[in-house]
Structure 1
Amino acid sequence: AMQVLDVNDNAPIFVSTPFQATVLENVPVGYSVIHIQAVDADAGDNSRLEYHLTETTPNFPFTINNSTGLITLALPLDYKLERQYVLTVTASDGTRFDTAKVYVNVTDANTHRPVFQSSHYTVNINEDRPVETIVVMISATDEDTGENARITYFMDDSIPQFNIDPDSGAVTTQMELDYEDQVSYTLAITARDNGIPQKSDTTYLEILVNDPIYRPWQYIGRPLLSMCLFCRTERLRDICAFVGRQ
């Protein structure tokens, strides 16, 4: 019987091109990025394919399994250095070949936490300031991008006299302040990013309440007969004035 032998008359053809993959910048070396595949209509050895990357630079962060077409990570990635790689892949049956592009997009991982410029802030406010007065703007920075850098602010404990805007970090008064009741407040404020997992930093804000109507010692009534500190309440001022007139 006559045996018909297959001739290598068909070239490999990549399917589903172009190839695209997305990886986080912090995935480990050896991570499977994408599996590419080509087909060859020939039979036997003529359909056996080998895959190669055309990039040959020493620091190229990807490698490919020549038999399976699995592309893996060979070196660590850094989103700030490179956000997209374009790989050129060749599939060859020994005689004929096909090429395809592989687009690998690197996404920012939540590698940084928000950071306040200081671990402690001190501000002053007069007790007669109206409700919803902005006391201070607190801000933190995050070196990540996108949602990983979007910061939300909140107070660790509920202090009814104050509120913080979760987006801007503006601390405002929510009640009238009274110097006689309390002369200072300490707020623990946390900045938290929106990454996965979330990261945060905490600072402490000390708010000092000032007495805006303090007056120094003054003589009242007949000279040298009496002396009184102008007191902060009408009742005490009346008493001092009465003594001064005696």
Structure 2
Amino acid sequence: MIFSVYLLDNATHLTPASPATSGNATEYGRGELTRDELTRLYAYPDVTRPWLRINFVASIDGAIAVDGSSGGLGTPADKSVFGLLRQLADVVVVGAGTARAENYGGVRTSAAARDRRVTGGLAPVPPVAVVSARAMIDPDSRLFTDTAVPPIVVTSDDADPVRVRRLTEAGADVVVAGERTVTSAGLVDFLAERGFTRVLCEGGPGLVGQLIADDVVDELCLTTSPLLVGGGAARLAVSDHTARISMAPAHVLADTDGTILTRWVRVAAG
């Protein structure tokens, strides 16, 4: 596949230049980026503890949804990287609200992708771990009916035992990671106990805000979709507490349709 440098002389395109591209942007050159090279760009570091990667798509003006769903912000480049990030992960973590809003099912992988994962020492298909302090998940949802592996439900001691029993009966692996709520420390401990070092979190804003406030985020993969949305759409992270975590850009990719994909990694202390 050909990837062309466009708009930024240090950016790499995910699709060839399009005749529809217009404006005053200048194409500086072309280069090839193979699937293996793209995979290396997004490879997890070699660590022995959970490395928590966040992935989000947002509009130019910061909206993370259009009419309640992120689907309206998706572009071909974003969808390509979204799928790749799932293929590289041990587990996909998501908040229950986002799972409901986006109608989550299990991770879908091709036979070739499963083979690559097994060759790389991963399970054939990564499970989806849904965070819900009250176990507010429908056992008839696609998380249970459209999946190759059972979902993991990360909940608290305060969850309704009837709901917990129904989820367990539906096949969920229920994990308690806090007393009244799911804590960041409890979530990370659960991930470590399961040997999930390559963690991909896909939202939502409340969960990501908590993880940022508790200083457990290692990386952010952010796609900027070439759209202005306006309205009252939520931002990427929401929390009662603020935090300052220094991040450095690992790479910037640009597609000819204006999509910008960035990978930000936290700066090591000291």
Q: Same fold (TM over 0.5)?
A: no
Higher relative contact order (CA 8 A, sep 6+): 2
Coarse TM-score class (shorter-chain normalised):
under 0.3
Higher-Rg member (1/2): 1
Please identify which structure carries the higher helix content. 2
Please identify which structure carries the higher strand content. 1
TM-score, length basis structure 1:
0.20
TM-score, length basis structure 2:
0.19
